[in-house]
Structures are given as structure tokens and as C-alpha cells.
Amino acid sequence: EAAVTQSPRSKVAVTGGKVTLSCHQTNNHDYMYWYRQDTGHGLRLIHYSYVADSTEKGDIPDGYKASRPSQENFSLILELASLSQTAVYFCASSGTFSNERLFFGHGTKLSVL
Amino acid sequence: GMPVEQNPPALSLYEGADSGLRCNFSTTMKSVQWFQQNHRGRLITLFYLAQGTKENGRLKSTFNSKERYSTLHIKDAQLEDSGTYFCAAYQGGRALIFGTGTTVSVSP
């Protein structure tokens, strides 16, 4: 089974602070994604990447940056965390084509106070 | 409308019952995936379909790209089937588009 590991599993941040969420995959997958899930809702795409050193905007990129320093690692950065960014964040990876089966991490529960 | 509409929003079943979930798409999709989110919040991939029907135990999923829908059928529901089920479709270009989910509650 392919493995996607997120860290931290949960985090409490202060408004205006910087938050970095990390994701590591051992699947040798080209595609990596960051999704956000709000209570009672589905997942929305924030940023994704299909190659190291390159990232693409998803559907809700405002307030977020992403970094893909290597094929295995993909980070989500909140430079100035806001209350509205309280959510659960999921990292995922998939193979060469972005419509292949997704493998998800456990999720990171972020609370901004 | 929404590119992926998922119905029903919630579903209550007794153990042993059969039922189905449906996703309708506003446009032609190239593939669909179904996920279960368990009580711990973990997302588990159930099916990936580019066409046709797949079965896995008591679960069966169908994807009809021409008619723009996908279904997930639960047979002989068990308590462990409780959770939220999401469909997600791939249109092309960027990544998957998720439905809003169906919360399934199975009771004895």
C-alpha cells in the first residue's frame, strides 16, 4: 500500500502566525495535492504539483503557498494564518496522470485562534 | 450548478439493508473515484473507475460517463459501513472535483 505521511497531525496556531504543513510520500508518484475539508463539506483543492520545484494553483489558493522541493515532499504554507483557515488539511498523491487513484494522508487538523 | 452533485446528503440504514448513493455530473467526466471517510476522519479509496462497473465485497460502483453519473451500492449494510462517502470526478486539466458527501448511518 502506498504511503503518504503528514505532519503534524494537529496544530493550534495564532492569528497572523506562520504555519507550515508537511507531506511526504514514498510512492514514487509525480502528482501531489493539498486539499482542505471544512466541517460537513467535501474537499477543495488548494495547490497541487506534478513535478519537483513547481506548483500549481487549485480552486482556493488565496492565503496559501506551496513548495515542492523534491518528488517526495510537498509543503503547504500559511504565511499569515487567519481564523477562516481553521480546517482539516489532506495531502494526497497519485501516479503519472492526475486522474489516477489518489492516496491520502491521515489529515492535519489546524485550529487558528 | 455544481459540477458534481451527490445525493442523498444523508442516509440511515438498518443492518442487512441494501441502498445506493449517486453522483450526477454537469459535464462529461473521464473517471470517478469513491471514498469513505471513517469516524477517525481517514479517507479510504473504495473504487477508481474510468468506465463500467466494479465490485468489492458488498460494495459495487458504476460509472456512466455518457449519461453523466456514478453510483455506489451498499449491499447487506454493516455497522462498519457508517461514515461519509464522497465521489470525486476527473474532468481533465487540474485535479479531482469532489462531491459534498453522503453521511451513512447504519444501526442495529
Question: How do strand B102-107 and strand B83-90 relate by DSSP bridges?
Answer: antiparallel
| B98 chain-A contacts, CB cut-off 8 A | 35, 42-44
CB contact (8 A) between residue A43 and residue B94:
no
Residue A32: pLDDT above 80?
yes
Searching chain B, which residue's CA lies closest to the CA of residue A33?
Answer: B95
CB contact (8 A) between residue B95 and residue A107:
no
Q: What φ, ψ does residue B80 adopt, rounded to 5°? A: -70, -5
What pLDDT is attached to residue B1?
65
Chain B contact probe: residue of A32, A99, A100 with most B CBs at under 10 A: A99
Give the model confidence (pLDDT) of B25-84 as tens digits.
999 999 999 999 998 888 999 999 999 999 999 999 999 999 999 999 999 999 999 999
CB contact (8 A) between residue B99 and residue A42:
yes
Give the model confidence (pLDDT) of A49-104 as tens digits.
999 999 999 989 999 999 999 999 999 999 999 999 999 999 999 886 655 788 89
How many of the other CB atoms lie within 10 Å of CB of A51? 12
CB contact (8 A) between residue A41 and residue B43:
no
Separation of alpha carbons B42 and B29, rounded Å = 25
Separation of alpha carbons B53 and A47, rounded Å = 31
